[in-house]
């Protein structure tokens, strides 16, 4: 295995992978590797990321099926380059409901 293969992907490289897999989606990506310094997966150079994908394609899919689609976009990078992936996968309607709830006064 080449040295570059064991390093975590850049934010832009990982985001591009998700954009290729979900071209019509709204995607937000955050590198959380700094929160896992000292963790076994981080010690090898692999990254910890949080991704939120909002896509109509998730309609009628259960959470596990949605997560499988997201993992599939980077499966060849796991676990060597991406150690952990925190996934939030929603439909447009679900995302809209969350925004509406957040806007309601307490």
DSSP annotation string for 3-68:
GGGGSPPPHHHHHHHHHHH-TTSEEEEEE-GGGGTTSHHHHTT-EEEEEEEE-GGGTT--HHHHHH
**Is the CATH number of domain 3-91 3.20.20.70?**
no
Predicted confidence (pLDDT) per residue in 41-98, tens digit: 555 556 889 999 999 999 999 999 999 999 999 999 988 888 889 999 999 999 987 6
| Whether residue 105 has pLDDT greater than 90 | no
Domain-by-domain residue ranges, the chain?
3-91
Q: Within 10 Å of residue 71's Cβ, how many Cβ atoms?
A: 13
Q: Is the peptide bond before 79 cis (omega within 30 degrees of 0)?
A: yes
Pairing of strands 47-54, 26-31: antiparallel
Interacting residues of 17 by C-beta distance below 8 A, sequence separation 6+: 9, 73, 74, 77
Among residues 2, 40, 22, the alpha carbon closest in space to that of 88 is found at 22
Q: In terms of pLDDT, which residue wins out, 76 or 39?
A: 76
């Amino acid at each position: 295995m080449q040295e570059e293969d064991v390093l975590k992907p850049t934010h832009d490289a990982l985001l591009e992978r998700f954009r290729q897999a979900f071209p019509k989606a709204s995607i937000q990506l955050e590198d959380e590797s700094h929160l896992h310094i000292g963790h076994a997966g981080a010690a090898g150079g692999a990254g910890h990321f949080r991704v939120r994908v909002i896509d109509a394609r998730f309609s009628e899919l259960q959470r596990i099926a949605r997560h499988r689609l997201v993992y599939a976009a980077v499966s060849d990078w796991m676990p060597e380059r991406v150690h952990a992936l925190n996934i939030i996968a929603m439909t447009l309607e679900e995302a809209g409901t969350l925004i509406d709830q957040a806007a309601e006064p307490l």
